[in-house]
Chain A
Amino acid sequence: MSTYRLKIKCNNAQMEVVAKNGALLAYEMDRYLENFVNRKIESAPYAAPKKAYTQEMAQLQTILQGFDQEQQTPRFSQPMQSEPAAVQIEYTQPNFVQETPVAQEQPVNKQVQNSQQEIYINLGDFLAANKSGNIFSDFIISAYYIKRVLNINFFTIKMLNSKFYPATGSLVVLSIIDEARTRGFIETKEEDGTHKYTLSAAGESYFINQLRG
């Protein structure tokens, strides 16, 4: 699947939108093009239907609200609107996380600085913002991240490790998952011959009470 990235810089302010849906960026591009040429631009083939765009923004807002609640820090200088003139975030969707080198260099609580408003939601930042310390804790935090930040209910080991390894340099093996399952933190289902996992309510409680930063 293709990736679309839009960066806007103005003086010290910078915004970056990353999406797997070109329509969102085409819509934003049209708005900036209007400003550049000072006239209304007709919709392009990639222009997003308003409904789809609004749904995406609502989904994004939900993800970020959940993230904000965990971090208990303000993320926006003003509330998100259904059709913002500028989206001052890095936009990620389930399965679509873009983990930039810049994002890995800084913990989450240092992302918002002065007028530069960038939010990088990647696993490395999320682990750094919480009480990671051993591979089991990292796994639980990662499972929570997938479920509540990426909004993906079930994950495979392969998918988990594709995010876990770049962030930690380690791989989650079955013994870790078995331990989590034994403790009731993980639920399993089999789909198309593949084992899929999700953080249980007990796992979420463990994260909130023991691991949340």
Chain B
Amino acid sequence: MAEYVFKMKKGEIEIELSSDDAEFVEQQLAKWREEILKKQG
């Protein structure tokens, strides 16, 4: 079964999400991308 890993780092904080639920990881990734891009904008 495939495993999807989503890792991000900010300063000293590092967060890693992994799951074999592709939809879940995709949703989380999309949300993080959207929020971070909002912040950048």
Contacts and interface: CB of A to CB of B under 8 A. Distances in A.
Contact of B28 (A29, A36, A38): A29
A45 interface: yes
A165 interface: no
Contacts of A9: 13-16
Question: Which 4 A-B pairs have CB atoms at the shortest separation, nearest pair first?
Answer: A2-B21, A7-B16, A9-B14, A37-B39
A4 interface: yes
Interface size class of A (residues with CB under 8 A): 20 to 34
Interface of A: 2-11, 22, 25-26, 29, 32-33, 35-39, 41, 44-46
Contacts of B32: 29, 33, 36
B6 to A, nearest CB: 9
B27 A45 contact: yes
Contacts of B39: 36-39
B19 A26 contact: no
